[in-house]
Amino acid sequence: MSAIKEKILVIGASGQIGVELTLALRKIYGGANVIAADLREENELLKGSGPYVSLDIMNKEMLHVLILRQNITQIYLLAAILSATGEKNPNLAWHLNMQGLLNVLDIAREENLHKVYWPSSIAVFGPTSPKQNCPQQTIIEPTTVYGISKYAGEFWCNYYHQRYGVDVRSLRYPGLISYKSAPGGGTTDYAVEIYHDALEEKHYECFLSENTYLPMMYMPDAIRATIELMEAPQEAISVRHSYNLSAISFSPKEIAASIQKHIPDFTISYKPDSRQTIADSWPQSIDDSVAQRDWNWKPEYDLDAMTADMLKNLTK
């Protein structure tokens, strides 16, 4: 860690990734040096671990004042409208996802912030992208407003790095699975809901068909990937759009079988809805060899290890 004291702002800190990332950053940098911000009220899990502010990312002046007042040196911008929710209100999803990013990049340029983190997603890929081992550079023609906004955002990140030298870094997250905080309206949310229903109802009705394979990742791996990317030396970062990131790929049928090893009488049924179309437009697996090469990325959890940990922690 550098001798310069880092002061970090996490925007969207009450969300699925935000909660766990904030807690992890507070462990490294100290509670007082990581400020959690969200439009929503403070997540219960964050209470007592460090400062919390109410923030609307669309209010650039308010954001700017907060950054100056708190001597912020790094921003993690996680506030976004996700894939399934975005399809219900495309204009809002585009406006919030884009303007939020541009506000942060512009202030980062003006105030010479040390680093910015902004997540992209596998949603940037579309039906014309390779389905298996989808590479870092490939055909990218997204079909959801979320995917469109993330892809456009990747170009803005690269632009601000090339033109203004802003050290902005990004990962294309797969579907993220966690027990601490609820998912936020994405197409991969079934993989969180299924564990809850397995324990509570012994049955789950899945909104995707049984053989829908999607790239997924257990939250501890996602948090570690994010922090490892941000701690990597600047010269190691060769991708300024967004890095492919991979851990596991599975189908609803496979996750159900994994759960049945622990809960033998668990059953699953299938009732695909509009989210099936989104899932069908995405790759089934991702090639993240560039992340492996640049900053030694390596996932820890496979499907069965994740299932065991999820069920253990949800049972608590």
Q: What is the pLDDT of residue 291?
A: 98
User: How far apart are alpha carbons 129 and 135 in whole angstroms?
Assistant: 9
Question: What are the average pLDDT values for consecutive 10-residue runs of the chain, which has 316 residues?
Answer: 80 96 98 97 96 98 98 97 94 97 98 98 98 98 97 98 98 97 89 97 98 98 98 98 98 98 98 97 98 98 98 96
**Nearest by Cα to 115 from 124, 104, 123:** 104
Q: What is the pLDDT of residue 181?
A: 82
The reply to whether 178-215+248-315 shares the fold of 8-175+218-244 is no
**Residues in contact with 173: Cβ distance below 8 Å, sequence separation at least 6, in sequence order:** 17, 119, 120, 121, 122, 217, 222, 245
Q: What is the pLDDT of residue 183?
A: 83
Going from N- to C-terminal start, the domains of the chain cover: 8-175+218-244, 178-215+248-315
Please state the φ and ψ torsions of residue 132, each to the nearest 5 degrees.
Answer: -110, 135
Q: What is the pLDDT of residue 3?
A: 52
User: How far apart are alpha carbons 108 and 316 in whole angstroms?
Assistant: 41
CA angle at residue 49 from 53 to 8, to 5 degrees?
55
Q: Which one is catalytic: 52, 146, 160, 190?
A: 146
Q: What is the pLDDT of residue 41?
A: 94
User: How far apart are alpha carbons 66 and 34 in whole angstroms?
Assistant: 13
52 an active-site residue? no
CATH 3.30.910.20 fits domain 8-175+218-244? no
Range list of β-strands (E), 202-310: 203-206, 214-218, 243-244, 248-250, 267-270
**178-215+248-315 CATH fold:** UDP-galactose 4-epimerase; domain 1 (3.90.25)
